[in-house]
Each structure stands twice: as C-alpha cells, then as structure tokens.
Amino acid sequence: GAVVSQHPSRVICKSGTSVKIECRSLDFQATTMFWYRQFPKQSLMLMATSNEGSKATYEQGVEKDKFLINHASLTLSTLTVTSAHPEDSSFYICSAKAGGRADTQYFGPGTRLTVL
C-alpha cells in the first residue's frame, strides 16, 4: 500500500518551454501533496504544499508563477515548470499524505528534469 507514482521519470526540454510533472497516489486518497527539489548530494528542499481543491502554499524564495501547482483531485497533483531555464534542471520529487491524523509522507520515484 501507499504507492505514489510520478510521470515522467525523466524529461529533457529546450530552454523557454514548459514542462508538466504529474504525481499520483495510487492506493490512497492524498489530502495533502508536497513538491520537493533535490540537488546532487543534498537534502530535500520543500518547494510547496498543496491541499486538494485549494491554492498551494509556496516556500519562501519559490516563484509561484514559475512553478505552477494544481491539486485538482485527491489522487493527482501536477507541477508545471514554466519557461524553463538550465538552472531549473534538477530532481523533482513529490510526496503524498492521507488526511486526518496521518503524518507519514510517501514519496514518488522522482522526475529528472534537464533543460538544454
């Protein structure tokens, strides 16, 4: 149980284009989903928290107009990197948490984004 998927697993795009990453909870309903970014040999850096049906809460320093997050259903959240630039190249990981008193976040396999 508690499986989270991400799609695509890796993507290469040209500078200036937009890329959408999907995060799905496969066997539970995720009231809250989180989006992280990770650089090589570093810890996870939280970008934003999204609750189903409401606007995402972005961490300080994360541009909400550049990293668009939509959490339209209890099993799907999307992250769109708009007008991507080479410095946006990174490993993006989502996690999902059930509602109520559940605290455990279950992570997706990550998406490797390379912007040329």
Task: Note the residues at the interface with another protein (CB under 8 A).
Answer: 2, 4, 6, 32, 34, 41-46, 49, 51, 57, 91, 93, 95, 97, 102-110, 112
Judged by beta carbon, residue 82 or residue 110, the one nearer another protein is: 110
52 within 8 A of 31, measured Cβ to Cβ: yes
CB of 36: closest distance to another protein in angstroms?
9
Which distant-in-sequence residues (6+ apart) come within 8 Å of 42 by Cβ?
none
Which distant-in-sequence residues (6+ apart) come within 8 Å of 76 by Cβ?
22, 23, 24, 25
CB of 6: closest distance to another protein in angstroms?
7
Q: What value, to the nearest 5°, has the Cα angle with vertex 111 and ends 109 and 115?
A: 165
Judged by beta carbon, residue 48 or residue 84, the one nearer another protein is: 48
Judged by beta carbon, residue 59 or residue 63, the one nearer another protein is: 59
